[in-house]
Amino acid sequence: MRDEHPAARALAGRHRLRPWEPIPWVLALAWYVVFPKHLGFGTEVLVTILFAVSLDLALGYAGVVTLGHAAFFGAGAYTVGMLAKHGVWNEPITSLLLAGLVAAAVGLGSGLVLLRTRGLTLLMLTLCTMALLEETANLGHAYTGGFDGLDSLPIAPLLGVFEFNPLYPRTQYLYVLTVLFLCFVFVRTLVHSPFGQSLTGIRENTLRMHAVGAPVRARLVVCYTLSAAVAGIAGGIWAQANAYVNLGTLGLDRAATVLIILALGGHGRLYGAFIGAAAYMMLSHFLSKIYPTAWQLGLGLLLVVIALFARNGILGIGAALWRRARLPRATS
Amino acid sequence: MSVPLLETRALCRTFGAIAAARDIDFRLEAGARHALIGPNGAGKTTFVNLLAGAIAASSGAVLLKGRDVTRVAQAERVKLGLSRTFQINRLFRGLSVLENVYIPVAERVGAAPSMFRPAGRRRDVVDEAMQLLRTLRLADDAPRRVAELPYGRQRLVELAIALGRKPEVLLLDEPAAGVPSAESHIILDAIGDLPPHIAVLIIDHDMDLVFRFADRITVLVGGAVFATGSPREIGSNPDVRAVYLGQAAHG
């Protein structure tokens, strides 16, 4: 017998598509039509969204505090880059899957060790893992190109037909959008599943999860590995779209930026990654045009305001306003 | 004599030079309403943590349903039917009341590892969680975030999470702690309505609560069992009165 209490019905239908959920995808397709000259920028935004979605899974849902998520982005990017540059493999889709697998392996290996710790220790260890990988890439000059990275990657045409043209990145844009969509559907399914619910339980109260008999560490390792895989796909597709890999894919700068983006958009909400990446990159794009010397100041001020007054980011503000708008109607 | 559901034999735990639990022999029978009382610092919470497996024993043994679980991890003891609540709420504060109960139920029925099915499609889990909330008269609060509830109702959610595991043994660490007296009846009613077959161990200072529910009382002093008996025996034991009840009366 089904329980028809409104709360039970709401939980039972929590995973259903909301009416506004197609909006970002419609906007992304509209961008393709309306701004054909800005598809390079658009591709960069889409890759960043994908990377931020992967971080949201680990940080926003499972509460794994990490400052080293670029380790997986870089692992994916270098997988694609090295395979293509050394003439081993350059078919885009399979390379991308390999990028995901390699990043997942790095995530699994480091996660098994790191996820025994929590809080500040965990934060420092994720940072150290990333620094180790970055230094390895720097030293392995013969394979990774060292400080210069690997450029002019010979990526094969997509499906054997569509060329990746760096000057007119139409193929890249649609390709990245498709991959983003598939990965997003995967992450969305995951966070709405009972597994995803148990991740939020770990985030909200790890000790209580132990006390209800959940295998906390195993769940975290699985989540971290999957998150790493998605981040690796983001890195791999970035390398394909730019035909280029460098140490920056493994750097603290990238890891910190994606963290800021998630904080800006709102973590643990899936779409925070979209809002955050779009807002951050548009702002930095236009601010740097208006004030080439001091644009980061404006961005910094915005972040201070968000951190002080809107802990849940832009989406948090939106949700609060929405609740406030609905409340009077509900009570009257 | 039957095998008790939960038993300890010469259980000890030391923290450096301090013996927080000393040679505790304890039995909890099926369907029991057993109270553990003692002055502050008597080692009550240490004893609960030893039973639950949150801390390891220095020596001695813990037996659950006749099985030695002294070296068994907390999560495994939970699977064997031992649930507990905490003296200070440990809730999933950002989640709704219903989700708070969904989590333990999903763990118990084995739904929690499932990744590619929406949580709501496990209507068995949703319905059982909702049914549990109805039993505890929490149904109206089901959609609310647990952090928004008054403290007494949060205490009830604390109990609901433990009951979501359908335990055979339930350890309640000061279930009414911090609840304003105007709300404490909802906790007392909930404890009174617990299924009779569950063995319950209540740790509390509140003598009203203890003498209302307990059919057996153990007094812990300085980490060791000072006395065990029926409420009547404990109430009339002059040593207990001197050590504990007298203090409480004066305090």
Higher per-residue pLDDT: A193 or B3: A193
Contacts of B165 in chain A (CB under 8 A): 212-213
Contacts with A49 (C-beta within 8 Å, 6 or more apart), sequence order = A180, A273, A274, A277, A278
Residue A12 lies in a domain: no
Q: What is the pLDDT of residue B51?
A: 93
Q: What is the pLDDT of residue B130?
A: 92
Q: CB-CB: which of A2, A8, A209 is closest to B98?
A: A8
Which phi and psi angles does B223 have, rounded to 5°?
A: 85, 0
Q: Do B161 and A208 touch (CB under 8 A)?
A: yes
Q: What is the pLDDT of residue B250?
A: 43
Range with the poorest average pLDDT among A3-12, A55-64, A240-249: A3-12
Would you give per-residue pLDDT tens digits along chain B (251 residues)? 578 899 999 999 998 888 888 999 999 988 899 999 888 888 888 999 999 999 999 999 999 998 999 999 888 999 999 999 998 889 999 999 999 999 999 999 998 898 999 988 899 999 999 999 998 889 999 999 999 999 888 999 999 999 999 999 999 998 888 888 888 888 888 888 899 889 999 998 777 788 888 899 999 888 888 989 888 888 888 888 787 655 554 43
Find the domain containing A265 and state its range. 21-331
Q: Which residues of A sit within 8 Å Cβ distance of B?
A: 1-3, 5-8, 10-15, 189-190, 192-198, 200-201, 203-205, 207-216
Burial readout B215-229 (b: 16 or more C-beta within 10 A, e: otherwise):
ebbbbbbebbbbbbe
Q: If you average pLDDT over residues A195-204, what whole number do you get?
A: 95
Q: What is the pLDDT of residue B206?
A: 76
Contact B83, B170 (CB under 8 A): yes
Residue A188: pLDDT over 70? yes
Fill in the DSSP letter of residue B96: B
Q: What is the pLDDT of residue B42?
A: 85
* pLDDT tens per residue across span A263-307: 888 888 899 999 999 999 888 888 888 887 777 787 788 888 887
Q: What is the pLDDT of residue A47?
A: 95
- Say how many domains are in chain A: 1
Which phi and psi angles does A246 have, rounded to 5°?
A: -145, 180
Sequence ranges of the domains in chain B: 6-250
Whole-angstrom distance, CA of residue B39 vs CA of residue B204: 10
Q: What is the pLDDT of residue A302?
A: 81
Q: What is the pLDDT of residue A222?
A: 97
Residue A281 lies in a domain: yes
Average pLDDT over chain A reads 88
Window 63-82 of B: residues touching A by CB (8 A cutoff) are 74-76, 78-79
Residue A9 lies in a domain: no
Contacts with A231 (C-beta within 8 Å, 6 or more apart), sequence order = A51, A54, A55, A69, A72, A73, A76, A103, A107
Name the CATH architecture for the domain at B6-250.
3-Layer(aba) Sandwich (3.40)
3-class secondary structure, B195:
coil
Nearest Cα residue in chain A from B120: A12
Q: Where are the beta strands (DSSP E) in chain B?
A: 6-15, 18-28, 33-37, 59-64, 67-68, 82-84, 169-173, 199-203, 216-221, 224-229
Nearest alpha carbon to residue B65 among B85, B79, B47: B79
Does B88 contact chain A (CB < 8 Å)?
no
User: Taking the C-alpha atoms of A275, A277, A282 and A283 in order, what is their torsion angle to the nearest 10 degrees?
Assistant: 90
Contacts of B52 in chain A (CB under 8 A): 211
Q: What is the pLDDT of residue A329?
A: 55
> Where residue A328 falls among pLDDT bands split at 50, 70, 90?
low
Q: CB-CB: which of A2, A204, A208 is closest to B127?
A: A2
Whole-angstrom distance, CA of residue A57 vs CA of residue A260: 15
> Where residue A327 falls among pLDDT bands split at 50, 70, 90?
low
**Percent of chain A at pLDDT above 70?**
98
Q: If you average pLDDT over residues A32-38, what whole number do you get?
A: 87
CATH code for the domain in which residue A74 is found? 1.10.3470
Residue A159 lies in a domain: yes
Q: Do B75 and A3 touch (CB under 8 A)?
A: no
Q: CA separation (Å) from A56 to A53, A138, A237, B71, B117?
A: 5, 28, 19, 37, 20
Contact A125, A117 (CB under 8 A): yes
Whole-angstrom distance, CA of residue B151 vs CA of residue B187: 11
Q: CA separation (Å) from B160 to B33, B149, B171?
A: 18, 14, 13
Does B111 contact chain A (CB < 8 Å)?
yes
Q: What is the pLDDT of residue B245?
A: 56
Distance from CA of B68 to the nearest CA of A (A): 18
Residue with tokens 């609740």: A323
Residue A332: pLDDT over 60? no
- ipTM for the predicted complex comes to 0.88
Contacts of B112 in chain A (CB under 8 A): 194-195, 197-198, 214
